[in-house]
Each structure stands twice: as structure tokens, then as C-alpha cells.
Amino acid sequence: MGPGPSDVPPRILNAMARPTLGHLDPLFIGLMDETKKLLQYAFQTQNPLTMPVSAPGSAGMEACFVNLIEPGDKVLVCINGVFGNRMVENVERCGGKAIVIKDEWGTQTDLNKVEDALKAQPDIKILAFVHAETSTGVRNEAKTLCELAAKHDCLTIVDAVTSLGGIELKVDEWGIDAVYSGSQKCLSCVPGISPVSFSERAVKVIQNRSTKVQSWFLDMNLIVGYWGAGNKRAYHHTAPVNSMYAMYESLLMLKEEGLENAWQRHQTGHNELAKGLASLGLSLAVDENYRLPQLNVVRIPKGVDDGEIRQRLLSEFNLEIGAGLGDFAGKVWRIGLMGYACKPRNIDHCIAALKKVLN
């Protein structure tokens, strides 16, 4: 019950252990096609360029930035946690100019500041923000941020690592241009795969670059030949075949459950957990109006030893919860209710274990 990787259900682990097909085998290509369709459902998009990058979420993030940014491009980055900072790193390493809006850890990105910045600098090309900040448990207003970007003719890059499958995310309806996620959060797949999707507008930008994408491995102009439509696939790299079995299985499970049902399950689980935490006198650090159900940031009570408690939960109760990062280090715990891990027996176990170690 940490901030991810989340528990992986046996069905997905079993899928992993199937014999490794050749990565250009017709059966595997069929699985790639089905995976793309299922991902379109999960992202709520019709974008043809929707696929899993063969590497962790950090590489999915990098794929979005290196493909859309050319040297000198201005990118407005919203920071209210760890992953906004990482976006700035990406912008700068692409030769872009990052304009930064900072908000306090545990609060949302201020929409007024974003609008002011977009008005003041009409040459901003991209607005980048994190939908669900795993380091703080905050949900940013993705829909409204995308509307602001559209109003000022900006592209959007959205970090949906922790949001996909856990809370409402509608790529097409909200007008997101580039989005990346991770396999190991609310999809409860094994870590190592990063689903991404690019709008047709973003694809045009990528196709009309005046410079080459700086990463060969992440160049969408090349990858599209491997993951593209039809039976003719151009060899680019060797896909992590067994991890793709797991990805497919996890997306199939999401489809079977239904996206809205999955969102609701996370919300219900959160409500139960919050009730339990309150009964122990523990409080959540994030306002109810923009709190993530799948990532619960709990204030560590005064006088309680952070490391000792987490160590005891792990060794005595086989229960992992997450430490605070950055500004939140030593001040909070992060309890994940992601995907398969979000179920009543886990919530009961967590509350019972916390009760024992805190007394």
C-alpha cells in the first residue's frame, strides 16, 4: 500500500510467465493491436498514436517532452510536487525554456497564475502539469488547465502516471495533446511500461519538427512504424514481450470492470480509509475537494518516529506504506489505494496495523 508499484493480481503475474513470443510474431502483433485499443479505452481517446512505451513512466514523460519540444521553445510548467520539478529537468535538457509556476506542496496549481502567465507570454508553446501528484496526493484541475491552454493556443503535456484508472481522465474530451502514465499504479500491472497518447495536433507538430528528436529510442516518428497500423511493422527495438502480456491483461481487467466502476471503487476505498484514519486520530494533509483517493497523504503525529513505524509495519505486518518525499519528508506517510490494492481487506488490515504500531 505504498505509492506504487501496487499489488499485482495473480492473473497478471500468470500472464507474465507465458512463453516469450518473437516480438514480430503475428500473434504478438495481434496482442499489440488489442493493447492499443484497450489503452484508447483507458485514456478515453480515439488518438491513433496511443501505445505503451517499452520503459518506465520516467521514459514516458521524456517521450512526451523530447518529441514536442525543440530548442528555444517556451514551456509553462506547473510545480506543486516532485514530478513538476522533473518536468522542468526534461524541458531544459531538450533545450527548451521552462517558465515555472510554483504552488505549495499539498495545494493545487493556481489557475489564475496559469492564466496570467499564458496571457503575459503568448509565445508559450506548451503547458505541462501533473494530473495526480504522487508526492503530495493532490489532484490538479486537468480539465480547466486544458481549457486555458486551448484558449491561448497552447499544447498540453499531462502526467497521468497515478491518475489513469484511478480517477476521471478524459483525454479527448479535455483536449489533452500528450499524456503519459505508468503500468504500476492504478492499473496494477508490473512496473516498467509507460502508456502514452498523442493527439493528432501533437502528431503534426512532431512530424513537422525542424530538428530531429534528440532520443532515438523515444522518437515517435520511428516508434510509430513499429506500433503503427497494419501488418507491416518496421523493426525499431525489441518490445518487452512478457511485460506486454501483463499490460494487455491489466487493461483487459480494467475493461471488464468498467472505467467508471474502477473510479468509483477507488473513491469508496478512500472514504473507508479516511474514516478509519480519523478513528485513530490521524488526519489527511490534503483538502477534501482535491484529494486523490488512490494516494492518501497522512500527517505523522508529533513524537512519532517515521522510519520506525514504517519499518515495523513492514516487518511485523508485511505492509508497505510510503515515506514523504521532498518538502514532505518526515512529515507524512503516503498510503496507496491503487488498483488491485484498493479493497476492503487491505483497508481493514492497514487501519488495524496502524492502530497496533501507534499504541
Task: Indicate the annotated binding residues for substrate.
Answer: 334
Amino acid identity of residue 53, one-letter, is V
> For residue 204, what is its C-alpha cell?
503534426
165-184: contacts with a copy of itself (CB under 8 A): 182, 184
Q: Which of 29, 42, 51, 55 binds a copy of itself (CB under 8 A)?
A: 55
Considering the rule CB under 8 A, would residue 329 count as an interface residue with a copy of itself?
no
Residues with Cβ within 8 Å of 16's Cβ and at least 6 positions away in sequence, in order, are 190, 242, 243, 245, 246
User: Judged by CB, which is closer to a copy of itself: 55, or 114?
Assistant: 55
Residue the block writes with cell 497518447: 197
CB nearer to a copy of itself: give 19 or 230: 19
Shortest CB 287 distance to a copy of itself, Å: 26
Amino acid at the residue 102: K
Q: How far, in Å, CA of 347 to CA of 300, rounded?
A: 18
**Interface stretch with a copy of itself, choices 20-28, 100-108, 143-151, 253-261 (CB under 8 A):** 20-28
Report the residue from 48, 111, 141, 191 that binds a copy of itself according to the rule CB under 8 A: 191
Question: Would you say 2 or 293 has its CB closer to a copy of itself?
Answer: 2
Q: For residues 202-261, which are near a copy of itself according to CB under 8 A? A: 212-217, 235-243, 246
**How many residues bind a copy of itself, per CB under 8 A?**
55
Smaller CB distance to a copy of itself: residue 14 or 279?
14
CB within 8 Å of 53: residues ≥ 6 apart:
59, 60, 63, 180, 193, 194, 195, 196, 218, 223
Binding segment (CB under 8 A) for a copy of itself, from list 23-31, 138-146, 151-159, 202-210: 23-31
Per-residue binding letters, 73-112, with a copy of itself (x by CB under 8 A) = -------------x--xx-xxx------------------
Within 8 A by CB and 6+ apart from 266, the residues are 166, 167, 186, 293, 294, 337, 338, 342
The three cell numbers of residue 233 are 511493422
Residue with cell string 518516529: 305
Residues 6+ apart with CB under 8 A from 185: 4, 5, 6, 134, 161, 162, 164, 165, 166, 294, 336, 338, 339
Q: How far apart are the first and last CA of the chain?
A: 21
- Considering the complex, what minimum distance in angstroms separates the CB of residue 62 from a copy of itself? 5
In the complex, what is the shortest distance from the CB of residue 314 to a copy of itself, in angstroms, rounded to a whole number?
8
Q: Is it true that the peptide bond before 9 is cis, omega within 30 degrees of 0? A: no
Tell me if 16 contacts a copy of itself by CB under 8 A.
Answer: yes
Beta bridge partners of 101: 78
Q: How near is the Cβ of 77 to a copy of itself at its closest, in Å? A: 14
- Least distance from a copy of itself to the Cβ atom of residue 83, Å: 11
Instruction: From residue 274, give the alpha-carbon distance in Å to each of 62, 268, 298, 341, 344.
Output: 35, 10, 9, 16, 12
| Smaller CB separation from a copy of itself, 54 or 109 | 54
211/279 with CB nearer a copy of itself: 211
Instruction: Please identify, using beta-carbon distances, which residue of 107 and 214 lies nearer to a copy of itself.
Output: 214
Helix (H) or strand (E) holding 276: helix 259-279
Chain residues that interact with a copy of itself, rule: CB under 8 A: 2, 4-5, 7-8, 13-14, 16-20, 22-23, 25-26, 54-59, 61-62, 86, 89-90, 92-94, 182, 184, 190-193, 212-217, 235-243, 246, 314, 320, 325
